[in-house]
Amino acid sequence: MTGFRKLLRTQALVFLRDKVALFFILLFPVVFILIFGFVWGGSEGGGKVTLGLLVVGERDALLDEVLTSQDTVTVRQYEDRAELEADLAQQVLGLGLVWDGEELLFLQDPTRVQEGYALAEVAQGIAAELNLRRQGLAPVIQVERVSVGRTPAGWFTLVVPGIMAFSVLMSGLLAVSGRITQMKERRLLDRLLVTPMSPTALLGAIGLVRLGVGFVSTTITLGLAVVLFRVQLEVNWGLYTVFVIAATSGAMGLGTLIALVVRRPTSASTVANILAQIMLFLSGVYFPLEIMPAFLRAVGRVVPLTYMVEGMRYVTGVADMSASRFALVTAGLLGVGLGLFPALSRYVVRVGRR
């Protein structure tokens, strides 16, 4: 047991000296959370739109009633159109509205690409409700927005668990295709295998270190999103723990496949990084699978990271998933890791592989 603790400590120190692994597993998620968080983190979740109102001529009581009934709009009065347009250009306002007694003229900053569609919907809603009231009519149905999941799932809220899943993927991939293949290339494994240490002990130490790193990385990412950007998550810590273990094991299994297929060990880490970056864009982390072409959706459905993202969103309370599907995904990832562990042991003891 003392020997295994020393091996565990050694592998932890080796990881801390691996700059590539440190970046992709610990720094990469933090950088992306900070970038996306400061750009979009505070703008989602149903904040109110400030609308600048300029009335030319007499006020219309119906228009005032419509604007007052809009829960998503805060009205600011203006007397001068130039002042309204200046505030609109400086993004003090989300929308401008000019009423001349006969028609509505909405003003919008075309440079606000991210919010442009939502602002246009607000304008259309105001115009539609005013038309109905002027005809003495009321909406036939009332629409209520209900978020699918246990928390309101805005874009940034969906991205957070996706980045967490990616860090787990990199932790497992680089444990095998990075660390173990480097040891193979440098013949360190050949030297270790003449000692009383067993291949299982070495793999166990590396696996435990990467598992701990996965927990640390995902927890840091989660903490930054919650503390800095007020992301609302309902984490089921029991399921979270089980899923991180399963996902890390599955990622190590994928790393084993890369190490067995790629002939040169030094190339395995490069291949793993390339495949991980491809999976990042095809798994729905940044772009929903629904907006992709059909053939890319089909590719995304066979990408392992897709299911890691779905599971991570489920355990953090962002998206719903049936208990049976979650159990199947978790068991599948764990099975990949455990199923390929014997193959990894044989890879370790195969002396002189090039």
- Give per-residue pLDDT as tens, 227-263: 888 888 889 999 999 999 999 999 988 888 887 777 6
pLDDT in tens, 137-170: 776 677 776 655 555 567 788 899 999 999 899 8
One domain for residues 265 and 173: yes
DSSP 148: S
pLDDT in tens, 171-184: 888 777 766 777 77
Distance CA 289, CA 321 (A): 16
What per-residue confidence (pLDDT) applies to 87?
Answer: 92
Residue 341 binned pLDDT confidence (cut-offs 50, 70, 90): low
One domain for residues 73 and 6: no
One domain for residues 33 and 68: no
Q: Which candidate, 159, 88, 157, places its Cα nearest to that of 123?
A: 88
Residue 330 binned pLDDT confidence (cut-offs 50, 70, 90): very high
Task: State both tokens at 104.
Answer: 């509505």
Which one of 75, 106, 134 terminates a domain? Answer: 134
One domain for residues 25 and 97: no
Determine the average pLDDT of the residues in 202-220. 85
Determine the average pLDDT of the residues in 327-340. 91
What per-residue confidence (pLDDT) applies to 328?
Answer: 96
One domain for residues 250 and 116: no
Q: Is residue 252 part of a domain?
A: yes
One domain for residues 197 and 250: yes
Task: State both tokens at 221.
Answer: 């990412």
Q: Is residue 212 part of a domain?
A: yes
Question: Considering its fold, how many domains does the chain have in total?
Answer: 2
One domain for residues 29 and 58: no
Q: Is residue 336 part of a domain?
A: yes
Quick one: 108 exposed, middle or buried, by C-beta within 10 A (0-12, 13-18, 19+)?
Answer: middle
One domain for residues 28 and 90: no
Identify the domain containing residue 241 by its residue range.
Answer: 2-41+152-349
Torsion angles phi and psi, residue 313, rounded to 5: -65, -35
One domain for residues 27 and 115: no
Distance CA 218, CA 214 (A): 6
Which one of 86, 103, 134 terminates a domain? Answer: 134
Which one of 108, 134, 160 terminates a domain? Answer: 134
One domain for residues 96 and 129: yes
Tell whether the torsion through CA atoms of 276, 327, 235 and 143 is positive or negative. positive
What per-residue confidence (pLDDT) applies to 314?
Answer: 94
Per-range mean pLDDT, top range of 4-13, 175-184, 293-302, 334-343: 293-302
Q: Is residue 144 part of a domain?
A: no
pLDDT over 70 at 275, yes or no: yes
Which residues are registered as beta bridge partners of 49? Answer: 73
One domain for residues 11 and 34: yes
| DSSP string across 283-305 | TTSSS-GGGS-HHHHHHHTT-HH
Determine the average pLDDT of the residues in 276-301. 88
Q: Is residue 19 part of a domain?
A: yes
Residue 315 binned pLDDT confidence (cut-offs 50, 70, 90): very high
Determine the average pLDDT of the residues in 28-42. 79
Determine the average pLDDT of the residues in 257-285. 82
Q: Is residue 337 part of a domain?
A: yes
Rounded to the nearest angstrom, the gap between the alpha carbon of residue 199 and the centroid of all alpha carbons in its chain is: 35
Q: Is residue 140 part of a domain?
A: no
One domain for residues 300 and 172: yes
Determine the average pLDDT of the residues in 289-308. 90
Looking at every residue in the chain, the average pLDDT score rounds to 83
CATH code: domain of residue 101: 3.40.190.10
Determine the average pLDDT of the residues in 287-307. 89
Determine the average pLDDT of the residues in 79-92. 91
Residue 85 binned pLDDT confidence (cut-offs 50, 70, 90): very high
Which residues are registered as beta bridge partners of 50? Answer: 74
Q: Is residue 141 part of a domain?
A: no
Q: For the whole model, what pTM was predicted?
A: 0.73
